[in-house]
Homo-oligomer: A and B are copies of this chain.
Amino acid sequence: MVHFVETVGALDAWLTSVRASAASVGLVPTMGVLHAGHEALIEQARRDCEHVVVSIFVNPLQFDREDDLRRYPRLIEADLETCRRVSVDTAFVPSQTEMYPNKPTTRISVGPLGDHLCGAHRQGHFEGVATVVAKLFNIVRPQRAYFGEKDAQQLAIIRRMTADLSVPILIIGVPTVREADGLALSSRNRHLSLGERQQASALFRALEEARRLIEGGTVEAGSVVRQALEQIPREVGLRVEYLEVVDPDELQPVERIGGPVLVAGALWVGDTKLIDNVVCEPTGQQS
């Protein structure tokens, strides 16, 4: 039985009783349209925590384009069925007016960690993410919170926010779940047509090529990126938004690769933006 809660007040009352008996609460914040990637987060939370809360909230603060917000898929009945199947204890599904009864003026600003990768292309996106996550942390007050490594920049920013603001929550990153051809699971994949779906794994192939080059000793990031991009065919409907080599904590561009790096890319396939990344390092340096 999933306990279904729609208001902050009801959640607070419910979790007060939960905390009296459960040693630990885990939070999996989502925007819904749950897939096997989310299930991996929930399963990890299930292993670590006595009580698992999944939040489902499509957060308007993190959309820079009104049409993207409108187009973002919503499938609440199927999501609750998924929650039941994977033994979520509590599903918190607030409305927009419940989360933002007044127009919020406070934002968490994320500094240089938001300057590159997706941050360079989606104005205010990570501010919106960090703000709603801080709010969900305050509402649920879990011991642990779970985020996918697929959204590497988001994960690094949440980790940094948590450290900088002394948020008493352990942040757990969970490895990306992929289709057989390497495509990272994403709620946005459902927008892909059959043809687009076949094109979509090119991003993964480019990232794997970058990994092969870096582990093989290529140190010049520009050269890695140029060769990796050759994996992405010059076809109609495919457009690389970025493919960058950055350091994994500060998310700043790396020119010569001398340690662990994050290689992250965004590929538009038709009208759908897909992102993915790998973390790798020169083989001699692996610890």
Contacts and interface: CB of A to CB of B under 8 A. Distances in A.
Interface of A: 8, 12, 102, 104-113, 127, 130-131, 134-135, 138-139, 141, 160-161, 163-168
B160 A106 contact: yes
Contacts of A141: 168
A138 to B, nearest CB: 4
Contacts of A160: 105-106
Contact of A131 (B12, B105, B130, B165): B165
Residue among A12, A107, A161 with the highest chain B CB neighbour number at 10 A: A107
Nearest to A113: B105
Nearest to A132: B165
Contacts of A127: 109
A12 B139 CA distance: 20
- Which 5 pairs from chain A and chain B are nearest by CB? A105-B111, A106-B164, A104-B164, A109-B109, A138-B166
A142 B106 CA distance: 21
19 contacts: A8-B166, A102-B163, A105-B110, A105-B112, A105-B113, A106-B108, A106-B110, A107-B108, A107-B111, A109-B127, A131-B164, A131-B165, A135-B164, A135-B165, A135-B166, A138-B165, A138-B168, A139-B168, A141-B168
Q: Is the interface of A mostly helix, strand, loop or mixed?
A: helix
Total copies of the chain: 2
Nearest to A99: B166
A154 to B, nearest CB: 14
Nearest to A105: B111
Contact of A138 (B106, B130, B167): B167
A138 B169 CA distance: 10
A111 B108 CA distance: 11
A107 B106 contact: no
A83 to B, nearest CB: 22
A164 B138 CA distance: 11
Contacts of A130: 106
A106 B164 CA distance: 6
A126 B152 CA distance: 30
A113 B12 CA distance: 29
